[in-house]
Amino acid sequence: MSPHRAPPPASSTAPGTSAQEPQGLLHKYRELLKKHAALVRKLGEHARRQGITFKLSRWALETSDSALAVLNASSVVLANNRWHALGRLRGPWRREEDGEERMALRDVGQAEAAAVLGRPEGVASVARYRQAREPHPRVLEVRAERVTGHMQGQVLVLVRDITEQARAEAELVNARATLLEREKVRALGELAAGIAHDLHSTLDAMRLRLQLLQREVPPTPRSQQHLDALMRVVADAEARVERLQDFSRRKPGSVLEPVQLADVVRDAVDIVRGGIEHQSRQGGHSLRLDVALPEGLPHVTGSAMELRYVVINLIINARDAMLQGGVIRVRAFKAGKLVRLTVEDEGTGIPQEHLENIFKPFFTTKGDKGTGLGLSMAHGVVTQAGGTLTAANRPEGGAVFTLTFPALKAASARGGTR
């Protein structure tokens, strides 16, 4: 028997395969690794850009002059630094459209968000809020718009501080109003020339009739007093008409001279007293004048005729404000180097919001019964004389008008015009 032989070693390559195949698989694996590395690099670059974009966006939001917040129906979800800064401003905030007040910016945002959520989708709101009870209030413009998409049910609120813009708009409105007033004054000047001529003729006829009446009818002491008062009224009216003619021709005002204010007040009171007593009898309400004028009051600079007109105007205004009767008090007194005259009434007073406008031309609280020129012209007369005219409300009720003039020294009063 032949000896047993070991079988030949098996081949490492399976039948039908090539020795190059493992090399191909390795190559493909390496290619996949390269693509994977490239994809990782691409994703890393994209993430880096996204991070930069996020940082830039956050920087832009945090450094913006506009306050930005996202709110839902009950709270602030997200807000930038500007929102928090404006939120520290003192309220309350008053909505200009309806006067509703909110205590803080958060309350303002919640109110506007609730309003937007109650409207059809796509309808935004823009409102202005002004700080209430502040001497120099801030003004905010609040824009609210519903957020769509996955943040549905939330509202984006943008708040801008437009204080300077609002101030510029107010100045523009005032400038337009001033131009309108100038146009009215110009038109008044054109009318004045024609009206003044007719009035002057009428007053001439009245003065002549009064003079004839004084000559032909022996007056009693009482009637003589009335005739003298009427002559002063006609003389004052003629002087006013001449001033109206001067105004229409743009001539300078009357010459100022030393005036005894007590005499001016006495003449004015004599002229209006009869009309006040008559109105008191007609209306059934007690209406009287209480005048206190000290002796030796210093002279002031002014026009006696024009200052008489001012006092008459103030007394008549006081009478008109006292529909239920009362006392009109006229007081003159020396205060240091000044002479003051006050006209007080017990009427309804002046609404607080009207005090700053009461001396402006064409501003009136009497409706169709007033021209808005009486107090304006009175203020001009007093200012031209170097004095001041102010208005205020009395704590007891009613209004008080105060005329203040520099007192003249005795030498200046004797020497004539200062």
What would the DSSP string read from start to end of 53-115? HHHHHHHHHHH-SSEEEEE-SSSEEEE-HHHHHHHTS---EEETTT--EESSHHHHHHHHHHH
pLDDT confidence band for 403 (50 / 70 / 90):
very high
User: In terms of Cα–Cα distance, which of 191, 5, 151, 1 is closest to 71?
Assistant: 151
Which letter, b or e, does each residue of 242-259 get, where b requires 16 or more Cβ atoms within 10 Å of its Cβ? ebbbebbeeeeebebebb
Average pLDDT over residues 389-417: 84
Structural domain 64-161, CATH architecture? 2-Layer Sandwich (3.30)
Domain extents in the chain: 64-161, 187-252, 254-418
The model carries a pTM of 0.48
> What is the per-residue pLDDT across 48-104, written as a single tens digit (0 to 9) for each?
777 766 565 566 556 577 888 888 878 888 888 888 888 888 889 999 989 999 999
What single string gives the DSSP state of each residue in 343-390?
EE--SS---GGGTTTTTSTT--SSGGG--S-HHHHHHHHHHHTT-EEE
Predicted pLDDT at 412: 62
Q: Which fold has domain 254-418?
A: Heat Shock Protein 90 (3.30.565)
CA distance 417 to 370: 35
257: which DSSP letter? E
**DSSP SS3 for 332:** strand
> What is the per-residue pLDDT across 210-263, written as a single tens digit (0 to 9) for each?
888 877 777 787 778 888 888 888 887 787 677 656 655 544 456 789 999 999
Q: Return the percentage of the chain with pLDDT > 90, whole number.
A: 26
**pLDDT reading at 109 higher than 70:** yes
pLDDT confidence band for 275 (50 / 70 / 90):
confident
> What is the per-residue pLDDT across 118-161, written as a single tens digit (0 to 9) for each?
888 777 889 999 998 888 899 999 999 988 776 677 898 999 99
Show the tokens assigned to 166. 């609002």
N- to C-terminal Cα distance for the chain? 167
Predicted pLDDT at 339: 95
Show the tokens assigned to 125. 């709101």
121: phi then psi, degrees, rounded to nearest 5: -60, 140
Q: Return the percentage of the chain with pLDDT > 70, whole number.
A: 80
220: phi then psi, degrees, rounded to nearest 5: -80, 165
